[in-house]
Amino acid sequence: MVSLPLLIGTLFLSLAGSQDAGSKALMLAHFGLFLLWQPFFSRGASVGLLTLAAVTGGLLAATLLGGHWFPVLWICVLLGILGGRISGTDSRRTRTHLLGALFCLLLLLLFRVTPGLLPAQPVPDLVAHAVDFGIPLVLLGMLALQPDAESGKAARGLDFFYSLLAFQLALLLVLGTLVAATVSGNGYFEALLITIFTAALALLMLGLVWNPSHGFSGLRSYFSRYILSVGVPFEGFLQQLAARADAVGDPHGFLDAAIELLEGLPWVAAAGWQTADAEGMRGRAFTDACLVFPYPDLTLRLETATAATPAVVLHVRLLTQLIAEFHAGKCRELQLRQNAYMQAVHETGARLTHDIKNLLQSLVSLTSAGELMEDDQAGAYAAMVKRQLPLLTQRLHGTLDKLRAPVAGAADVQSPVRQWWQALDARYAGRGVCFDGLPEDEDGRSLPHHLFDSVAENLLENALRKRALEPDVRVCLRWLPSPNGPAFAVSDSGTAVPPDVVQHLFLHPASTMKGLGIGLMQAAAQARQQGFRLALRVNQPGEVVFCLQPAADSLRDSTAAVVLG
């Protein structure tokens, strides 16, 4: 930033005297300092010979051949550059430094260069002396008020919009003053005042239209809408992005499709993405102008042909945030699919484990009956084993079939009601279970064999386990009359199920010493899949009743049918 006061000082000295060799030498020195100060190329960047020759030739031609209009245009260009740099810094010292340079250039433009375009309108000596003494004092103040290095680097950026606006305002002052002086015939200062007040009035009207207090939203909304569609129609890009999100299910595949859209924008040279386990890129080799947008699980990188303006950065940030949100949704969708798969595996394994547990319990019952029988009862025991082994074999084959084809909701094997009832009665013969209530009119009906076997054995084994702790408990299985399908109830006269267990008895595994746990949860889920409902209908000391009935049955009908013997 030290070169900025020297830059303006050499311009001031070159315009102070007559256009002789000394003034031209000072102007060349001014152009050299400008090349060191300019914000378009970094100091370490390499410049091609063609660019260097073009810049050198243009500056030499302007110095040797430029008339009165060249200093006017050149100072307007410098004012535009300074205006674009002031908007890019928040440091007070840097802003004050740049405002001092802007003030010096305005004095040179309005009181040194522009009056030369009107030979009949000389500047008064008092004003000329004030400018001659005022500009050096401001430059000395700029030398004393040097900005810090970090804020100086931040101020090297250039906002094209503000630069263009400052250039146009400076040129408007010059051209407006010339027109006002020529048309009205007034002096230079009167014409300058007319131009300043006219420009101020125009800016005031523009401010009112830009952000009006009432009525329509103003030009600001239209300008914002334009900014949001810089380089690409926003709605069109969003539609294409949503279409690719619907078509591609894999998160990495979606990112490849998304950066393909970004790479297709005219101002994007290359685009890339990176996650914790993969990365991808499209486009040609990376340039120096890079935009990086980090998100929780994704980093997007864009390379542009030139340095992006703040408006473009805002626009690209919105686009990349949309891509990041879609990617997060894809990751959640993939996680849900994996969780659903693991849940299906878990439910299949739990259901098969439950069936095998029931088979083992039946085998334990057979062996226990054999150990308790006397020698003269060996024939009866052999007849019972002969009846039970085919049933156990059939149930084992059914369990293996589920293992070979674990399809959720598969159709169950239908068995006659009386046949199932008699087989279950035979399995629990001698274990103190009361079977009652099967009417004669049930002979023509059938039921889902595996479901009723699984639920009945689970409920009966839980009740028998309770009787092991409470010897006087009576266990009974009673058939329920129902117009919608087969139904039964298992009751016992033991203690009631604890209230904290009842709340999640059929939804979560229940922690209890009486066996009312994961088996009931699996049985209830299996019943729901086949259109039945397992519920605890009565829960009080001395009367605990579980019912399996069609889901269409009402609570009142099923409860009224439960009568403990």
Q: Identity (one letter) of the amino acid at 312?
A: V
For the stretch 60-116, pLDDT in tens is 777 666 667 888 888 998 998 888 888 767 678 888 888 888 999 999 988 888 888
How many Cβ atoms are within 10 Å of 30's Cβ, its own excluded? 22
Which residues, at least 6 apart from 235, have a Cβ–Cβ distance to it below 8 Å?
Answer: none
Question: Nearest CA to 399 among 360, 344, 352?
Answer: 352
Where are the chain's structural domains?
3-221, 242-340, 414-565
pLDDT of residue 563: 37
For the stretch 262-314, pLDDT in tens is 887 777 888 888 887 788 888 776 566 788 889 888 898 888 777 776 767 77
pLDDT of residue 491: 93
Contact 173, 203 (CB under 8 A): no
Q: Rounded to two decimals, what is the model's pTM?
A: 0.45
For the stretch 168-193, pLDDT in tens is 889 998 999 888 888 877 788 888 88
pLDDT(201) > 60:
yes
Question: Nearest CA to 449 among 431, 427, 423?
Answer: 423
pLDDT band at 22 (very low <50, low <70, confident <90, very high): confident
pLDDT band at 250 (very low <50, low <70, confident <90, very high): confident
How many Cβ atoms are within 10 Å of 559's Cβ, its own excluded? 16
Select from 1.10.240.10, 3.40.50.880, 3.30.565.10, 3.40.50.150 the CATH code of 414-565.
Answer: 3.30.565.10
Pairwise CA distance, residues 214 & 221, whole Å: 14
